[in-house]
Amino acid sequence: MAVTHEIFRSWRQPRAVVRDLLMQGKREDRAIGYLMVGCFIIFVSQLPRLARTAHLSDGDVARLAGYEFLSWLIVWPLALYGLAALSRLAAMAMGGQGSWFGARLSLFWAVLALAPATVLYGLTSGLLSNDPGRFDAVDLTGLVWLGGFLWIWLSGLVETERAEVPA
């Protein structure tokens, strides 16, 4: 099945998508591919916001983009590996029967599956002003992103901890 189809299906049936991904076997290359592509999409989606910030503050957009690139393609993947490990430890404490790979897969897939919301958030924050102290479209889009992320990740984590699949 095409990854784009699975991304949109994740918003409706996240557990079924993660179950299907687990049935493909333990593929670390695929899991890290999901993570790196998801982080790259997040980086690209931040460029409108960075351009706006550089324009308003007479900053250098290339410098800001370089920092963002370093952050999203080196620092965040390492932090997400740590978060996946913590989620697995928490699941084990609650009696989960999954695997370390399943915890990584559910988190990394959630990062990639949020690509449409990530791009929407990046465009919204780049095109609209975010007034501190006032709830606006940027905040609303961020809440949609956060809700979608938690929905897809935690649903996938529950599936990996309950599923009897090769992982």
Q: pLDDT higher for 165 or 22?
A: 22
Provide mean pLDDT across the span 14-33: 95
What pLDDT, on the 0 to 100 scale, is given for residue 163? 56
Separate counts of helices (H) and strands (E) for the chain: 8, 0
Tell me: pLDDT of 94 over 60.
yes
Burial class (CB in 10 A: 0-12, 13-18, 19+), 26: middle
How much is the average pLDDT of 32-43? 97
Q: How does pLDDT run across 48-65, given as a tens digit for each residue?
A: 999 998 998 888 999 999
pLDDT level of residue 76 (50, 70, 90 thresholds):
very high
Any idea which of 71-75, 106-110, 130-134, 144-148 has the lowest mean pLDDT? 130-134
Query: What band does 164 get if pLDDT is binned at 50, 70 and 90?
Result: low
Which tokens go with 23?
């049935």
The pLDDT, as a whole number, for residue 132 is: 76
165 pLDDT more than 80: no
Compare 166 and 74 and report the one with higher pLDDT.
74
Question: What pLDDT is stored for residue 133 in this prediction?
Answer: 74
Please check whether residue 50 is in contact with residue 70, taking contact to mean a CB–CB distance below 8 angstroms: no
Domain boundaries, the chain: 14-19+26-162
Residue type, 88: R
Query: pLDDT band for position 38 (50/70/90)?
Result: very high
- Per-residue pLDDT, 32: 97
- Cα separation, 39 vs 49, in Å, equals 16
